[in-house]
Amino acid sequence: MSFEALGLHASLVKAVTEAGYLKPTAVQEQAIPAAIGGRDLLVSSQTGSGKTAAFMLPSLNKFANIEPAPMSRTPAQEAQSARSRGERVRFKPAQPKMLVLTPTRELALQVTTATEQYTTSMRRIRAVSILGGMPYPKQMQLLSKNPEILVATPGRLIDHMESGKIDFSQLEILVLDEADRMLDMGFIEDIEKIVAATPETRQTMLFSATLDGVVGNMARRITKDPLTIQIASGTKRHENIVQKVHFVDDLSHKNRLLDHLLRDESMDQAVVFTATKRDADTIADRLNIAGFAAAALHGDMHQGARNRTLDSMRRGQVRVLVATDVAARGIDVPTITHVVNYDLPKFPEDYVHRIGRTGRAGRNGIAVSLVNHAEGMNVKRIERFTKQTIPVDVVEGFEPKRSAPARTGARPGWKPGDGRSAAKPGQRSFSKPYGQREGAPREGGFNREGGYNREGGYNRDAAPRTGGYNRDAAPREGGYNRDAAPRREGNGGYRGNSGHPRSFDNARRTFGDN
């Protein structure tokens, strides 16, 4: 199917053709015609599937088919006229027709850049980004142009809404891009506040890696009779990415192996992911000293510096980008051939988004994870999430001193995520599913219905073992019984039943006076 067959305006077909798009992706084939028809959409699609075009092209198609009202004067001309008359210039709130919410600055800028690319043959369509890290005067200047399309992160958008700089009364289309990520980052209250400020007549499109749980509940609240589209499972989306695990002994071993991997002749550009901002800076500096064209990217950098770094990456001036998870979403550089997880991510979902930086638009890619032997369980979590076994690789000359731990899947017929143990035959498995606890316990074991019955143990319905504690029986010799006399009535003792009140307001407690 061609883009023209989807019902897009001729100017948009020309723009995507010039951008090098040959044919629509699976998500574009299903989403674009439905969105042109005005349907609300709930789309489950992964990064790199072409979802930006899936919601932006049908939205632009709507604006392209509406003749814009002629503008007698621009806001800047009106402001100049007011100054010449000696009047106070009042800021008029922007009234966008389309709002796109994204979780990160990088993704917001990526959406804005793509929109500018799609509108090269369209007049009077402006798209601007409003996000944290950008100076307020610059944002005020962008809003004063009254852009038709606003791309924003939730936090900064709320700031402008509360100050009266944005009015959503004319909004026609609302898009939530990577909604699951926004909820993970704690933006649910901001999102609900933003949605409440938009007209109920709007068209809503929500894109997320998953439509379950909290995301699904929110999606049902903010949409009307939505069409649900699910594209590509976690396994299929990375068929073009070769994934590997390299076990390392220590930090020195990890650094030497990283240096070797980045000297691969097949590498064009690479992203190295670290757990901390400090490590990103340190590793980028070390790689530069070693002769690599490397740069760091993390949240402590000013937005201008982050933009310059990404531009250098796109121009090929930076070959190795060392980044934290702030860059795991929103980086779209087709020439990234390798992703290296210097540190494993905290969550399996972030692993998926990290390695999705390579293998874009059907290209092939390589994803390598450098793993300490103690992190084997984290690898298993990723395998269960992706339903794929990640093979262990060893580079000659960089072999770990310790052998790699036994891999999951050693038992014939086992697959990651099927709920069965990977134990070898004859070994006891601890992974029985819930609901199989019936039956007698092993000798001396625990049975919920039989109590804890190991010989000499504790049984609530039986007498205590010798010298034990029983609330309803006499205390052991010299012991304590709430209903009996205290064990001491001499010097230093405490007599709770002495007849004296315990309150310090009436009398002192009877310590050592009896």
The token duo for 61 is 């198609």
Rounded CA separation 370/267 (Å)? 17
CATH node for 238-386: 3.40.50.300
Q: Which pLDDT score is estimated for 99?
A: 97
Taking only Cα atoms into account, the Rg of the chain, rounded to an integer number of angstroms, comes to 32
Rounded CA separation 416/273 (Å)? 25
How would you classify the pairing of strands 98-101 and 127-130? Answer: unpaired
Q: Which pLDDT score is estimated for 91?
A: 67
Rounded CA separation 295/97 (Å)? 38
Rounded CA separation 93/463 (Å)? 78
Q: Is 223 exposed, middle or buried (0-12, 13-18, 19+ CB in 10 A)?
A: buried
Q: For domain 4-230, which architecture applies?
A: 3-Layer(aba) Sandwich (3.40)
- For residue 283, is pLDDT > 90? yes
The answer to whether 342 and 272 have CB atoms below 8 angstroms apart is yes
Among 92-106, 175-189, 335-349, 480-494, which is the least confidently predicted range?
480-494
- For residue 351, is pLDDT > 50? yes
Among 14-18, 341-345, 426-430, which is the least confidently predicted range?
426-430
Provide the residue count of the chain.
514
- For residue 440, is pLDDT > 50? no
Structure confidence by residue, pLDDT tens digits, 378-406: 899 888 888 888 999 999 888 888 776 65
Q: Which pLDDT score is estimated for 210?
A: 80
Q: Would you kindly state where each structural domain of the chain is located, as residue ranges? A: 4-230, 238-386, 467-514
Rounded CA separation 505/8 (Å)? 85
Strand partners, 320: 270, 294
The answer to whether 398 and 256 have CB atoms below 8 angstroms apart is yes
- For residue 409, is pLDDT > 90? no
At residue 215, what is the residue type?
Answer: V
Structure confidence by residue, pLDDT tens digits, 101-122: 998 888 898 899 899 989 988 8
Q: Which pLDDT score is estimated for 281?
A: 93
In degrees, to the nearest 5, what angle opens at C-alpha 497 toward C-alphas 491 and 501? 95
Structure confidence by residue, pLDDT tens digits, 209-241: 888 888 888 998 999 999 999 875 544 456 788
Q: Residues near 220 by Cβ (< 8 Å), separated by ≥ 6?
A: none
In degrees, to the nearest 5, what angle opens at C-alpha 121 toward C-alphas 115 and 124? 75
Q: What is the DSSP string of 484-503?
A: S--S--STT-B-TTSSS---
Confidence label for 205 from pLDDT (cuts 50, 70 and 90): very high
Average pLDDT, the chain: 76
The token duo for 100 is 């796109």
Three-state secondary structure along 446-473?
A: EECCCEECCCCCCCCCCCCCCCCCCCCC
At residue 80, what is the residue type?
Answer: Q
Structure confidence by residue, pLDDT tens digits, 298-314: 878 887 888 888 889 98
Most confident of 209-218, 412-421, 423-432: 209-218
The secondary structure of residue 387, as a DSSP letter, is T
CA dihedral sign, ordered 444, 449, 452, 456: negative
The answer to whether 113 and 331 have CB atoms below 8 angstroms apart is no
The answer to whether 218 and 341 have CB atoms below 8 angstroms apart is no
The answer to whether 96 and 147 have CB atoms below 8 angstroms apart is yes
Tell me if domain 4-230 and domain 238-386 are identical in fold: yes
- For residue 92, is pLDDT > 70? yes
Rounded CA separation 345/385 (Å)? 13
User: Count of CB atoms within 10 A of residue 414's CB?
Assistant: 15
- For residue 45, is pLDDT > 70? yes
